[in-house]
Structure 1
Amino acid sequence: MPQGSPKIGIWGLGRDGEAAVRHLLETQPEAALTLLSDNDAEKAPASLPGIPLLTGDAARTAISESAFDLIVKSPGVPIIRPEIAAGEAKGTRFTSGTNLWFEANAPQRTVAVTGTKGKSTTSLLLHHIAGAKGAKSQLLGNGGVPALTQKPGEDLTVLELSSYQCADLAHGPDFAVFTNLFPEHVPWHGSVEDYYAAKLRLASIDPKTRVFANARDKGLRERLAGLPDVTWFNGTSGYAETDSSLTFDGAPVQIRGTLPRGSHNIGNLAGAAAVAFELGLIDDPLALDLGTYGDLPHRLQLFDLPQGITAVDDSISTIPEATMAAFALFPDRRIHAILGGSDRGQDYRALARYLGERGDAHAYLLPHTGERIAQDLAREAPQIPAAVCADLVEAMERIKAAAQPGDVILLSPAAPSHSQYANFEERGRHFQSLLSATFSPA
């Protein structure tokens, strides 16, 4: 941290930015703080009175011209922004809330979990396995509480980290867990390979970091092949998903507690169990206690509707691979699928082919990727009825008119939410409210 009376900018005013401000007020009371926002219309949060705010061009100029000794960047600010390179060239240091957390704490047994999909489930499972053993675990990061607002767990800290948080991370965890790699967040990183590189930095920041990785992910196998000591799960030994069940060295594992839905989530459980076993949180590898683990909201969350109709809130699914995994849970039922959202360069051809091979599905397509998905369906699966909708309200109206007894209504968009919603949680909550308004309770 800068010494004396440093000038510190906090770039981004979301929950991570506010957490950074509160941390700096406590740890650097002599510092001159300034809030920074790209949005000209941004107002200073009422919860942070007395701190000056620069917006729009004024903020960008101050960042580029090195008006600050240090800038704490929120995860949503891309590291490829030209203002960062300009500011660094003139002496400004850029950091993140995650880095500040590592610098402020000397945690024992920190596990960082990342991957395109499955990191929230894997993190939560590990946290609950630790709790079932009586360990005092803390769950922080991307899917939970901003790390800067909390201290590490007495026995274990589980940090769920997005690619945004990994991209400029300067401190390696004790353990790094990689669930998978699929193309995602390309505009933020600049390219798919830069996105993969950001994720995989966790394995190389500190040579003492123990790496756990999913053996069934080709990208991980190729990119981690040069590391000397990777513990692979979902491989030929140790914990693995086998025919939608958890096994250890090929033998079935007896599980106490609520299992996550879907074979892909059993694969995530294999990763959590592999780390827990290494940490001594599992006595018998063939007996696993999930403690108080339960389903996460907006992740394959099921609702029973009249006439045997099932609704599924899988708003967390922002890539085609996750959506195909959701479809696989209902192999013999007709699915009304709500697809589409923000465009991050996703390739929907494989999803279109999958729907064509599956057959019994209807697609309701939302902006902005809906038009592109419609084109891919027309080429790859012309037999699949597809309706381009203005919004989720229109999609639900169309589904109400078309749904038959026993059907499935699936919100699994294969795209981020930001074209129409602040985040996937808001999208999921809107879907659930529309379910309540459209269908009477079962």
Structure 2
Amino acid sequence: MTRVLHILDHSLPLHSGYTFRTRAILKSLQAAGCNVQAVTGQRHSADGPDIEEIDGLIFHRTPGTPSGPPVAREMREVAMLRKTIETVASQWRPDIIHAHSPALCGMAAMKAARSLGVPMVYEIRAFWEDAAVGNGTGSEGSAKYRLTRALENRVVKRADAVFTICEGLRSDLAMRGHDAGKIGLSPNGVDLSLFGEPPPRDNGLAARLGLGSGPVIGFIGSFYDYEGLDDLIDAMPALRDRHPDARLLLVGGGPREGALRAQAKASPAADAIIFTGRVPHDEVDRYYSVIDVLSYPRKKSRLTDLVTPLKPLEAMAQRRIVAASDVGGHRELIEDGVTGQLFPPDDPGEIAKSLASLIDRREEWDTMREAGRDHVAAHHDWGRNVARYREIYQALVEAAAPKRTGIEQA
């Protein structure tokens, strides 16, 4: 049984797209016969023991919190994470070390893997310098941006194998001069075993929220600038001209929440825009049930063109109607008019027109729901996706067998 030690920025019990993808990967690998454990770095902020079992998964925590001036702080993080990896590896003896972005995790894993004589896989879920620009914590071309990019290039070059979550990221790495032959795809996916028939509409919740008869356009997730929720709010007056009973339901929170609430309050469609704030994870399905169209109006940027989001796949897995902006990350997931609908990004007028047209064609919705679910089952089911990992793991273990001396001699 192949033993794989995963290196993570953070994990469960924290809730994020990052932790949910991690859970799906680890549980699917377990089901496929792999033995998995994980190590998190100092940015895992949840309180808990040094070794924690959650949902049948074992996580080892790196002690301490990041501190010190920039660059020196990150190098200390790498050193502490490397130390934890080597301690765990000396006891558990993994066959593979599989690090997940950001590059700080990759750098620590690379150093540990080389000292232990273990093959190392690096997986990129997003370029974190672009994510920082997208969420307003960084600027393109800054010293930090360039340093993060250079660090990632170094890890990619030295890793034994690399995965990206989408073609956009893989193509970008190839254009930088990296060996495309060692870069595989591990697309965003869902555990379809978690999704049965979608629950019926929660009429009590709909009444409490004041949704009326609808149609209800909704978004469930984090409120970052790149998500384009301001454009969705600006689209509501024109949508209401076509469909006077339309409502917009925004579920979640984040850095843009205050600005979005103020914008909605000043809108001519203010009475039709409802914010719920953050809701418990185990209640999210209730909110999905009262939404007719899940809308993802991401703004066009380097981040959104290169990275595929998880939320549209989760919605399609639940047989929900999906409408999203026509950016590269969405085009990899959604076939316009077949599995969902695409609209021009950054244009509230066109968003309103597209959503109104979609609502007018309700007779097509059942076919679109089934097409979306079928697409997820065929291309984004973790039960199938983990075969990509296992193939690479096996090849790396076989290639490393004659060379492995690090752990055996420890």
User: Shorter-normalised TM-score: what interval?
Assistant: 0.3 to 0.5
Structure number with the higher helix fraction is 2
TM-score by length of 2: 0.33
